[in-house]
Amino acid sequence: MESNLTTYWEKGLSMASSQASSVLVIADSNLPENYSKEVVEICKKECPTHMISLEGGEGIKTLSQVSEVYLHLEKIGADRKSLVVCLGGGTITDMGGFAASTYKRGVSLIHLPTTVLAMVDAAIGGKNGVNTEMQKNFGLLKNQIGTFYHPKMVGINHNWLQSLNEEEILSGWGEMVKHALLEGGTHLKDLMKLSPNLKDLSPLLISSARIKEAIVNRDEKEIGERASLNLGHTVGHAIESLAHDKGREMKHGVAVAWGLLFALEASVMKMGFDKTTAEELQNWIVSWIPKGLEVDGADAVWSKMLQDKKNVKGNVIDVLMIAPGEVIWDFVWEREEFTILWEKFRGRYA
């Protein structure tokens, strides 16, 4: 897969629009109006352009919302030469990308991410998906329905980040921490020196995104190494889903940061990760994320982990580390050992 990550987004968008029969822009309604206006103006110079506004958030990652996008595409007479442009955060790119990848078996797609999390992670790598809301015993299950479908371009515009609040920036920082742990070396050291604010993080956004892009290039369909990108996500998704089931908002990247804390704890016990290094990294992470997390017990977390899409033959698969930059992506949990470690972790941080 060739790199489709670019800061020359205007030129790329104009070229893609000139090759399209029509364009549908899916824009987050929370964004300043001038963001979507700028995008629409570029597209409509080249072909008929339409826009729908949706309020971003996990609530739009549903099959019913995807059906609404299909309906809009039908109304504008979209065909296989049409282009879908997703302007927003990770939930917009996930849902919009899924709709584009399945409408008429796939129309052209461009992602224009407007959050730190989307720029460094969600919009990169070709994964698109929606959540499923199951019976009360299961609750929200993250990204259980999805596709691998790459956008023609991921356009990076740092100016679109100016409208973000601190919570959104921190969420993106959580995924940047994950990339830094996967990379190790100077990238990790550089990130550890910075505060999770836009001014400090901006110089590392592209390099963080390139870490994910390089892994995807080596393993597009997650046969092996790409599974390492799930570091912190097995527990992180469980925490995020449990919060949702109780009506509490939990930003994805913050949940991942908590998942990374546990992954470091487990890596010391199961992988021989250096304890001093792990504690240094844990102290760094926990110094920035919100305190007082309401952490569920091992049974509730395990129940969510059993539904994780990485699992094979009923085994809960996780990603642990031997050291920064050295990852085991097929670790299998035994319920009893997870319970012991989780309750110890819970007692330390709850």
Q: Which two tokens stand for residue 106?
A: 């796939």
Hunting for tokens 């592209």 — which residue is that?
Answer: 206
Q: Which residues contact 139 (CB under 8 A, 6 or more apart)?
A: 133, 241, 242, 244, 245, 304
Rounded mean pLDDT, 83-100: 97
pTM over 0.75: yes
* CB contact set of 313 (below 8 Å; sequence gap of 6+): none
Which of 190, 172, 187 lies closest to 123 in space, CA to CA? 172
Contacts of 88 (CB under 8 A, 6+ apart): 26, 27, 28, 30, 31, 54, 56, 96, 112, 113, 114, 115, 118
CA distances from 45 to 2, 63, 244 (A): 27, 32, 42
Q: List where CATH 3.40.50.1970 sits in the chain.
A: 5-161
What was the pLDDT predicted at 155?
Answer: 97
What token pair was written down for 296?
């569920």
* pLDDT above 70 (res 196): yes
Tokens in use for 238?
Answer: 């469980």
Query: Which has the closest alpha carbon to 337: 269, 289, 285?
Result: 269
Looking at the chain, the domain(s) classified CATH 1.20.1090.10 span 166-349
Of the pLDDT bands very low, low, confident and very high (cuts 50, 70, 90), residue 307 is confident
Q: Which residues contact 15 (CB under 8 A, 6 or more apart)?
A: none
Answer yes or no: is pLDDT of 346 > 70.
Answer: yes
Type and span of the H or E element at 283: helix 275-286
Question: Does the structure show a pLDDT above 60 at 136?
Answer: no
Q: Check: CATH 1.20.210.10 for 5-161? A: no
Domain 166-349: what homologous superfamily? Dehydroquinate synthase-like - alpha domain (1.20.1090.10)
- pLDDT given for residue 51 in this prediction: 98
Q: What is the DSSP letter of 146?
A: E
**pLDDT value at 316 more than 60:** yes
Dig out the tokens for 309 from the structure.
Answer: 């899409």
Tokens of 141: 């299950």
The closest alpha carbon to 164, from 251, 285, 54, 94, belongs to 251
CA 43 to chain centre: 27
Asked if residue 350 has pLDDT above 90, the reply is: no
* Secondary structure (DSSP) of 153-221: EEE--GGGGTT--HHHHHHHHHHHHHHHHHH-HHHHHHHHTS-SSHHHHHHHHHHHHHHHHHHHHH-TT
How many Cβ atoms are within 10 Å of 168's Cβ, its own excluded? 21
Does the pLDDT of residue 133 top 90, yes or no? Answer: no
pLDDT tens-place string over residues 104-130:
999 999 999 999 999 999 999 999 999
Structure tokens at 279: 């504690």
For position 295, what pLDDT does the model report? 80
Question: What's the pLDDT tens digit per position in 317-342?
Answer: 999 999 999 999 999 999 999 999 99
Mean pLDDT in residue range 148-162: 95
pLDDT of 1 strictly over 70: no
Indicate the pLDDT class of residue 143, thresholds 50, 70 and 90: confident
